[in-house]
Chain A
Amino acid sequence: MSTDSAPAPQSGTAEDVKQGSRVAVSALTTNLREYGLIIALIVIMLFFQYTTSGTLFKPVNLSNLVQQNSFIIVMALGMLLVIVAGYIDLSVGSVAGFIGALAAMMMVIWPLGIFSNPLVVSIVCLIVGGLIGAAQGYWIAYHRIPSFIVTLAGMLIFRGICQALLGGGSSVGPLPDSFKALSSGFIPDVIGPLTLIPPTVNAAGKTILGSGLTLHMTTVVLGLIAVLAYAYFGFRTRRKRELHGYEAEPFTLFVIKTLVGSALALFLVFQFATYRGLPIVLLVMGVLISLFVFVTKRMTIGRRIYAMGGNAKAAQLSGINTERLTLWVFVNMGVLSALGGLIIAARLGQAVPAAGLGSELDVIAAVFIGGASAMGGVGQVIGAVVGGFIMGVMNNGMSIMGVNVDWQQVVKGLVLLGAVIFDVYNKNKA
């Protein structure tokens, strides 16, 4: 997956060493700004790794971290498009709650026969999510009712329906195990485990839990393939640019970037492999992130969304059907909210009336921390994902540290404000 979008506007034909180094420095500063967010995430992770005395990076905790935050990131993918298009969606938390309740009712309460099969239910729920998105998007796109108002109404409506479905304040469960696997399951080890260090056996003849080192080989193989693909595609894109005479960044910087990225990814894969392997939800998330990076960077529909957010009138006068595009952006958001709702329900093992309550704010915060502009037209998928993880790591780290929930909110608010101020400051300086 190529992530370099806007190379520094200098040519690569630097002859003397002096000019070459100047080019490198300028490319570094451009990239520093671009990768500042990822660096911030790493710094935050290291900080909590230190303050939690190493708990943060423990395999068990990493799995928890992913499972707790995946629904935020899944919904942030949709929210990024909504915000880039120049809108907002406040209803995602309520829609997620409603879909969770709907799924639980279909699987546990209503006598639907074959239709209460978890897979069928999931598909139906995603379609319902899309329809909800279409219903809201219709008013926004074709009647120009502000998205803030339409989705504020949606937020009230779907939270209400969610609670009504569950019959007041009660929860509905337990959900089938095969459904819960969506959130708490791990990919099966089809290759088989590899024991590097046999577990220690104590005097009583029992193995000591957590001792020894066994690797989940399927995870290792998948991780290696992903890292190799990342390096290969990065290199290929670079070669292609070079062949066409367009140079982006100095080779050393490219290598460092690729090496650091790969090393980080391999470290995380290794940590997962020593536990129970890759969580299924991480795989789902990875596939979705790749898809959305591709759509926003390479596809015409992505380009049109950015154009619409940047200047809706100009986009319209360039032949873009902005109404239909808006509708699709909200349909997409609806489907992803539904997926978020399924993930929440699967993690809790039941549907509760408060599922997803307030999560719209975390989702929106993730997108803005990720550098999107509230005016529309600006924002990156990777930014929103990193923004989501920054929120998640802070939640997780502060909980382990035993920071009071009230103060957690204060810190998250300050981080959101700080990130946006930093962005604005940078833009004015540029």
Chain B
Amino acid sequence: MTSTILEMRDITKTFPGVKALSNVNLSVEEGEIHAVVGENGAGKSTLMKVLSGVYPSGTYDGQIIFQGQECHFKGIHDSEHKGIVIIHQELALVPMLSIAENIFLGNERARHGVIDWDANEARTAELLKKVGLREDPKTLITHIGVGKQQLVEIAKALSKEVKLLILDEPTASLSEKDSQALLDLLLEFKRQGMTSILISHKLNEVNRVADKVTVIRDGRTIETLPRKEISEDRIITSMVGRSLDDRYPPREPNIGDVIFEVKDWSVYHPIHAERQVIKSIDLKVRKGEVVGIAGLMGAGRTEFAMSLFGRSYGRRISGEVLLNGKPVDLSTVGKAVQNGVAYVTEDRKTYGLNLIDHIKHNVTLANLGGVSSGGVIDDMREMSVANDYRKKTNIRASSVYQLTGNLSGGNQQKVVLSKWLFADPEVLILDEPTRGIDVGAKYEIYTIIARLAAEGKAIIVISSEMPELLGITDRIYVMNEGRIVGEMAASDASQEKIMRAIVRGEGKAS
């Protein structure tokens, strides 16, 4: 009764040094809701970018066949022309324009360049009715909530006569109620005959609406499950089912007393003052211990770490931090650094490095006092420090005078690490320390972490890659929606256990 609307065959996409997708196959039937699931970084979004032409034809290998025709999309415009519309996780609306202006942005109903606002607004009202959003088309985007903004995005997609709607983590930032409404809308579209692809890691949602599930892991298609075989357990096993080999350096944990303790830590959103982002977290780290924080994107892990580190995130922060049993003031970054706490950001380019300056100046930035006296920098001392850390962390560069903007991701990460190692902290918080770097560099970073633990530092590793946490930590906290929803020794933990804690925590939190 159905025919295949989309077929992606043997899609392979490589970035310098990384194979993001290898021989991925995806086949979508007309009129179904097809879920694509996988861990963060498994390649889901890359696959969708290939499909929508963000990565133009020629930059990948493989075939895309849409409605029986082979397609070579040169850009988003081409794929939208064919009726493939993607709604990204980060909404692409202009906040200070109205709903109608956003829906017809770049596609305005106009005669000789003069916009016919009445036509636009009338059509907008129609579209809003379809998606069940009761707002005036003239309302500014900034005045409506995220859930409604998501609906505007969908209305915008409908305005383009969409044949295949792709939703990338559509409910990631929605409340439970808004999520349910959105899923209902998807089901309604299905009744009207529309095809959609739903990318999600919320398995209960997938379970509820999907007709088929394709699991992607490490850039490969693992399997496609038909409706009757879909169950959370089945998907979890498929999502994480890979073996742990010797991708992690061996280490002998030598764990001492608790040196870092966080009590009842709560944080509110910096803009939406009523939204509590971190909900009374308790956490302990011992000397020489590597503690992991697992969780999905948006669980609040980065927000938690940054609010600890000099209140760099959030408002109305409450709670207590103890260092070696004594309360410690971390209210500014300067104080945090002085008291021996360091935070290595997940976003090294935006928050970690001065990309237009060279390695030497970046390495000493967090501890200029260590290479100067009376405010005057000792050039020679700085030079030996920079060279020393370049050797210690194995930064591959022609000299310490190379601009950090010209280094590879792995080497940039080593520069950021060097900066914080030179600040000599007792407690080191590493946020996604291996994001976007190749396997070899990952191993080097793990080795550095193991060495620091052996030196008696307390280390917190935030990571979305569960095998990584299982491989390098001693104990794992699981976070979801701003809470700690699980704690386990790494030796008892498994990816299934962590996933279960997250999935179970999801229901509890709402």
Q: Which residues of A contact B (CB under 8 A)?
A: 6-7, 9, 240-241, 244, 246, 298-301, 303-304, 306-307, 310-311, 313-321, 373, 377-378
Most buried by B among A9, A241, A319: A319
Asked if A301 and B375 sit within 8 Å, CB to CB, the answer is: yes
Select from chain A the residue with minimum beta-carbon distance to B383.
Answer: A246
Asked if A316 and B312 sit within 8 Å, CB to CB, the answer is: yes
Asked if B356 and A378 sit within 8 Å, CB to CB, the answer is: yes
* Given A7-B401, A317-B343, A319-B366, residue A300 in contact with residue B377 (CB < 8 A): yes
Q: Which of B357, B377, B380 contacts A244 (CB 8 A)?
A: B380
Asked if A307 and B365 sit within 8 Å, CB to CB, the answer is: yes
- Which among B194-202, B347-355, B449-457 touches the partner chain? B347-355
Most buried by B among A301, A310, A318, A320: A318
In Å, the complex CA distance between A298 and B366 comes to 16
Asked if A6 and B358 sit within 8 Å, CB to CB, the answer is: yes
Q: Mark contacts of B394-430 with chain A using CB atoms, 8 A cut-off: 1 yes-contact digit, 0 otherwise.
A: 0000110110000000000000000100010000000
Select from chain B the residue with minimum beta-carbon distance to A243.
Answer: B380
B420 to chain A, nearest CB (A): 9
A66 to chain B, nearest CB (A): 30
A322 to chain B, nearest CB (A): 10
Q: Which of B338, B354, B379 contacts A377 (CB 8 A)?
A: B354
Asked if A6 and B401 sit within 8 Å, CB to CB, the answer is: yes
Q: Which of A9, A306, A373 contacts B402 (CB 8 A)?
A: A9
Asked if B402 and A298 sit within 8 Å, CB to CB, the answer is: no
In Å, the complex CA distance between A303 and B354 comes to 12
In Å, the complex CA distance between A300 and B374 comes to 9
A-chain residues with CB within 8 Å of residue B423 when the two chains form the complex:
319
B358 to chain A, nearest CB (A): 7
List 9 A–B pairs whose Cβ atoms lie within 8 Å, in order of A's numbering.
A246-B383, A298-B379, A299-B375, A300-B368, A300-B369, A303-B365, A307-B365, A317-B345, A317-B352
In Å, the complex CA distance between A301 and B310 comes to 21
Select from chain A the residue with minimum beta-carbon distance to B380.
Answer: A244
B-chain residues with CB within 8 Å of residue A313 when the two chains form the complex:
350-351
A-chain residues with CB within 8 Å of residue B375 when the two chains form the complex:
299-301
Q: Which of A299, A300, A307, A321 contacts B357 (CB 8 A)?
A: A307
For chain B, the count of residues having a C-beta within 8 Å of the partner chain is 39
B384 close to A (CB within 8 Å): yes
A-chain residues with CB within 8 Å of residue B334 when the two chains form the complex:
319-321
- Residues facing A in B306-351 (CB within 8 A) are 309-310, 312, 332-334, 336-338, 343, 345, 350-351
In Å, the complex CA distance between A246 and B345 comes to 32
* Given A314-B351, A319-B337, residue A300 in contact with residue B372 (CB < 8 A): yes
B-chain residues with CB within 8 Å of residue A317 when the two chains form the complex:
309-310, 312, 333, 343, 345, 351-352
Complex A-B, nearest 7 residue pairs according to Cβ-Cβ distance, in ascending order = A310-B354, A9-B399, A319-B337, A318-B366, A300-B368, A319-B334, A311-B354
Q: Which of A246, A298, A315, A377 contacts B356 (CB 8 A)?
A: A377
In Å, the complex CA distance between A300 and B368 comes to 7
In Å, the complex CA distance between A244 and B388 comes to 13
B240 to chain A, nearest CB (A): 33
B361 close to A (CB within 8 Å): yes
Q: Which of B337, B354, B399 contacts A315 (CB 8 A)?
A: B354
B294 to chain A, nearest CB (A): 24
Asked if B398 and A9 sit within 8 Å, CB to CB, the answer is: yes
Most buried by A among B333, B334, B354: B354
B-chain residues with CB within 8 Å of residue A315 when the two chains form the complex:
354, 365
A-chain residues with CB within 8 Å of residue B365 when the two chains form the complex:
303, 307, 314-315, 318, 320
B349 to chain A, nearest CB (A): 9
A-chain residues with CB within 8 Å of residue B353 when the two chains form the complex:
311, 314
